[in-house]
Structure 1
Amino acid sequence: MSVAETALPPFHLAFPVHSLAAAREFYGELLGCPEGRSSDAWVDFNFYGHQIVAHLAPDEVGHRHTSAVDGDAVPVRHFGAVLSMEQWQAAADKLQKAGIEFIIEPHVRFKGEVGEQATMFFLDPSGNALEFKAFADMSSLFAK
């Protein structure tokens, strides 16, 4: 059974932030992720149908290491979403208009190869790295 034929269960990801207010502004307002449950120490967000949880842990924030991928220094610790090309372009436009500084500017990598994809990397206010990517042909998501 292929990925396209399988209903994928939502994943859960917990990550550290230095400020819940800044996380709410970034994930809730800028990225448009609806807020779920919360406490004084954490807040849930609906991240494209998946549950991400920002935990107040200022000593653990930020990315520290990179790995070379198609000529880019990709943050080793990162998360994100695989979007349609239209969603990806809309997100890139919105982030650029908001003045977000990109670690890796929106572009297409692996051009002409299996796995060709649009990608961009940026940081949240706590220094957590996010990648948004898109494939013209979603069936190439796991292609070798």
Structure 2
Amino acid sequence: MRNSSNVFHLAIPCKDLDETFHFYIVKLGCKLARRYNDRITIDFFGDQVVCHLSPENIDKDPQMYPRHFGVTFFEKKDYDNVLKLAKERELTFFHDEFIRFKGQVEEHLTFFLKDPSNNILEFKYYYDHRMMY
């Protein structure tokens, strides 16, 4: 079971560290943890995302499934705030907000963003919190 002091870690490729910094830190509002010549480490909503400079590994034609990552919010206001921020700061939407599994217990709101290196980020909110896992 996850302890609140433990942090999930994800490493992804990026093509340019300055673009990556601008997207995640300046536009999306994440916190910079560390930056080196070959990577940037980000506090991504409480977890660690490390963007490794690896322009030869960029997905030229990204798809939502199966490769994406993101945040499932417990509070709807937090989901709404990120959606509002993404629109106001004109982040690139891979898919606009929509409802998945409408009318079912696992019904949830979701939207997808695309970072400058074509990594796909999903943000979602389940009406029934039991469905978060």
TM over 0.5: yes
Question: Once the 2 structures are TM-superposed, how far is the Cα of residue 65 of structure 1 from its aligned partner?
Answer: 5.7
Match of 1:98 among 75, 84, 89: 89
CA deviations on 1:98-142 (whole Å, 9 max, x unpaired) are 222322211221111021111001100111111011112221223
Code of the residue aligned with 1:78 in structure 2: it is H
Counterpart of 1:76 (choices 66, 82, 88) is 66
Q: CA deviation at 1:64?
A: 4.0
In the comparison of the two structures, how many residue pairs are matched? 131
Shift of residue 94, structure 1, vs aligned partner: 1.2
Q: Residue in 2 aligned with 1:54?
A: 51
- What do residues 42-94 of structure 1 show as CA deviations (whole Å, max 9, x unaligned)? 0110011101101100011236464xxxxxxx332111011121111111111
Contiguous gaps of at least 5 residues in structure 1 = 67-73
Distance 1:65-1:35 versus aligned 2 partners, 3 A rule:
closer
TM-score (norm 2): 0.89
CA-atom RMSD in angstroms: 1.8
Give ranges in structure 2 of 5+ residues lacking alignment: none
Q: Could you tell me which residue of structure 1 aligns to residue 8 of structure 2?
A: 11
Residue 69 of structure 1: aligned partner: none
Q: Is the 8 A contact 2:62 2:120 kept in 1?
A: no
Matched, 1:45 2:35: no
Residue 134 of structure 1 is matched in structure 2 by 125
Confirm or deny: 8 A CA contact 1:101 1:122 kept in the other structure.
yes
> Aligned letter for 1:80?
G
The sequence identity of aligned pairs, in percent, is 31
User: Structure 1's 42 and 65: CA in aligned 2 closer, same or farther, altered over 3 A?
Assistant: closer
